[in-house]
Amino acid sequence: MDVEQLEKKAIEMRKATWEMIYRAKTGHTGSDLSCTDILVALYYKVLNQTPETFKSENRDRYVQSKGHAVEILLNVLADRGYFPKDDLLTYSQFKSPYIGHPNNHIKGIEMNTGSLGHGLALSVGIAKAAKMDDKDYHTYVLMGDGEQAEGSVWEAAMAAGNFKLDNLTAIIDHNGLQITGKTKDVMNSEPLKAKYEAFGWNVIEIDGNDMSQLVDAFDMKSVQNKPTLILADTVKGCGVSFAENKAEWHHKVPTEEQYKEALDVFDKELEERK
């Protein structure tokens, strides 16, 4: 897909996620919307992985450490054909495998995640294994900025730099908000760029809701002997004006009126891109 097609796909995925959260009456709405562009860039442009190659030893790996944003991940996987879209009608229902965090009983999901601070360490292990086994697959991991308060993140960051894992790319969904407020007020982890660079990382700072910047960043991710961090500045609730930059939308379900209002916006945007 080119950038315009990816932008349109991101609107479609925001709409599908918005509908699923409204239908299920649960979901991390603001978090899903902030990282939608990142997942669309990965799954429709970057990842060397398809439903047919998901069990291949040389497939690229993706770990969603920011596991609470599972709704957008599930919609992207369904749209890519990893499982039928109708399966998501059971999301968060009794005995459904489609639950509030990534579940590796579902095709397309590498491992269970959502206990924040674990995804980077797991990804370091996957990338290190690729080096040891002389495999050329790349590992990607998405974290939240609130997650950077976890000490295990920094142990993993140090290890990645120490082992010179140039086959590892981490992305931070840097929207400045978490469930209890602004990240700088809850537990200030800035300056993230300088800290990761001090651990030996190549850091690319971009607008994470700008598809062309995302595509360019993924294209230039590889620096010899260094893991890469894409520090993606995003807007929590991106795409729904009344939810943007509001911590209360970290985990909030739209009312019927809000649901219809945002749906009208998505439909109008899609119509304009026909």
Domains and CATH numbers, the chain: 3-272 (3.40.50.970)
Q: What percent of the chain has pLDDT over 70?
A: 100
Neighbouring CB atoms inside 10 A of 108's CB total 21
Question: Could you report the per-residue pLDDT of 57-100, keeping only the tens digit for each?
Answer: 999 999 999 999 999 999 999 999 999 999 999 999 999 999 99
Chain centre to alpha carbon of residue 246: 19
**Residue 72 is encoded by which pair of tokens?**
């957008």
Classify residue 106 by its DSSP letter: S
DSSP annotation string for 33-73? HHHHHHHHHIIIII-S--GGGTT-TTS-EEEESSGGGHHHH
pTM of the model: 0.97
Per the prediction, the chain carries an average pLDDT of 96
Per-residue pLDDT averaged across 131-159, rounded?
Answer: 97
φ, ψ for residue 31, nearest 5 deg: -70, -40
Whether the pLDDT of residue 160 is over 90: the answer is yes
Distance CA 132, CA 113 (A): 24
Question: Could you report the per-residue pLDDT of 180-223, keeping only the tens digit for each?
Answer: 899 999 999 999 999 999 999 999 999 999 999 999 999 987 78
